[in-house]
Amino acid sequence: MPHRIRPERKQMAPRNPDWEAVVRASFARQGIMGLIGAELCALSPGRCEIRLPFRPDLTQQHGYFHAGVTSTIVDSAGGYAGLTLMPAGAEMLTVEFKLNLLAPADGELLAAEGEVLKSGRNLVITRGEVYAIRGGKATHCASMQQTLMTMHPKEGK
């Protein structure tokens, strides 16, 4: 039994040579990322990391990052992990996700990693982890499991 679950290698090969430019352009169109100050960091086929520095206007009532803010970056990290593997012209939509909050999101920085678990023709399943970083120490503060849907480009276009 493999201990570390990974999709088969053929699933993780990009089908669009411009995958990185496509992902970065889509991220740039997400208005919310500018508002909260999130940055698209590491990107590789089937993986995406988004980082978000702390600001007092991103908080819940105890002064930690709000769970919705955590959701915002980890949902996009999962979605863009999926988009790295899509053919040209395809889009990814979130069908659903489930997020467990493991510890208060208390840090100078949040880092969300999305990773593709399974890439099928119409559905892509991902996992995401979020870390709160303070003084160089990362606390694992959230875990996500997500379902994405591929919107294939219409033929003839």
Structure tokens at 79: 């979605």
Minimum Å distance from CB 148 to a second copy? 10
Q: Which is nearer to a second copy, 62 or 154 (CB)?
A: 62
Asked whether 91 and 80 are in contact (CB, 8 A), the reply is no
List 109's β-bridge partners, or say none: 53, 133
Nearest to a second copy of 16, 147 (CB atom)? 147
What are the b/e assignments for 31-66, b being 16+ CB within 10 Å?
A: eebeebebebeebebbbbbbbbebeeebeeeeebbe
Find the shortest distance in angstroms from Cβ 103 to a second copy: 7
User: Among candidates 79, 99, 98, which has minimal Cα distance to 151?
Assistant: 79
Distance CA 79, CA 28 (A): 14
Nearer to a second copy by Cβ, of 31 and 135: the residue is 31
Give 9's strand partners: none
User: Which one, 86 or 129, has the nearer CB to a second copy?
Assistant: 129
Considering the complex, what minimum distance in angstroms separates the CB of residue 22 from a second copy?
A: 11
Binding site residues, a second copy, CB under 8 A: 1-2, 4-5, 26-27, 29-32, 34-36, 49, 55-62, 66-69, 71-73, 75-76, 91, 93-103, 111, 113, 117-118, 122-123, 125, 127, 129, 131, 138, 140, 143, 145, 147, 149
